[in-house]
A = this chain, B = another copy of it.
């Protein structure tokens, strides 16, 4: 989850690190990758230098945030394996992830962008956990058998359309996910694909 908690930081440093992360979360959530470091610093009520003390580059800061989100989803996925209902387990993870995506433009962008190495690591972790959740649901016959783990990012992409302004309507991503879930539960019905 965290990246350099190895050496314990001074109390004030840890507090500032959190302020920076919080500010960055907010700013990246609003503006995605085009967020500006000065804006993050201002929002954290901190000098730019402080931001850079904790994160060597803008991308590293964004990556830390993304890694954290992916780690949280991965944790959720692992926990889902204890849920008795295989479908509920699967759907629950998607709902959980969607909740995060719906509020975070940076995270949404990450579904389409080339991931940094440090993020990749956590995405892999998520991929593994999600793979198990998917496998179980497929084995139980409640999830369409042709679905792949790598389909998940695509299926979740639309969640972030919430950022389009003016919003169609605030919670519309819920209907989006509901539709996707319906499509996933049913056995493939669309028939042969074109081309």
Q: Which A residues fall within an 8 A CB radius of B?
A: 91, 95, 105, 108, 111-115, 144, 146-148, 150-151, 153-161, 163-165, 168-169, 172-176, 178-186, 188-190, 193-195
Q: Is the CB of B183 within 8 A of A188?
A: no
Instruction: Enumerate chain B residues within 8 angstroms of A188, measured Cβ to Cβ.
Output: 178, 182
Instruction: Enumerate chain B residues within 8 angstroms of A185, measured Cβ to Cβ.
Output: 189-190
Q: Is the CB of B178 within 8 A of A180?
A: no
| Bound form: Cα–Cα A48–B185 in Å | 52
Known: A112-B108, A190-B91. A179 touches B161 (CB 8 A): no
Q: A91's closest neighbor in chain B, by CB?
A: B190
Most buried by B among A150, A160, A181, A182: A182
Q: Is the CB of B158 within 8 A of A175?
A: no
Instruction: Enumerate chain B residues within 8 angstroms of A175, measured Cβ to Cβ.
Output: 146-148, 151, 193
Known: A146-B175, A180-B183, A185-B189. A156 touches B155 (CB 8 A): no
Q: A96's closest neighbor in chain B, by CB?
A: B194
Known: A178-B193, A181-B183, A186-B182. A156 touches B154 (CB 8 A): no
Ranked nearest first, the 4 interchain pairs of A and B with the lowest CB-CB distance are A183-B183, A150-B168, A154-B158, A157-B158
Q: Is the CB of B182 within 8 A of A189?
A: yes
Question: Residue A194 contacts which of B95, B113, B144, B168 (CB distance < 8 angstroms)?
Answer: B95
| Bound form: Cα–Cα A111–B18 in Å | 33
Instruction: Enumerate chain B residues within 8 angstroms of A182, measured Cβ to Cβ.
Output: 144, 182-184, 186, 188-190
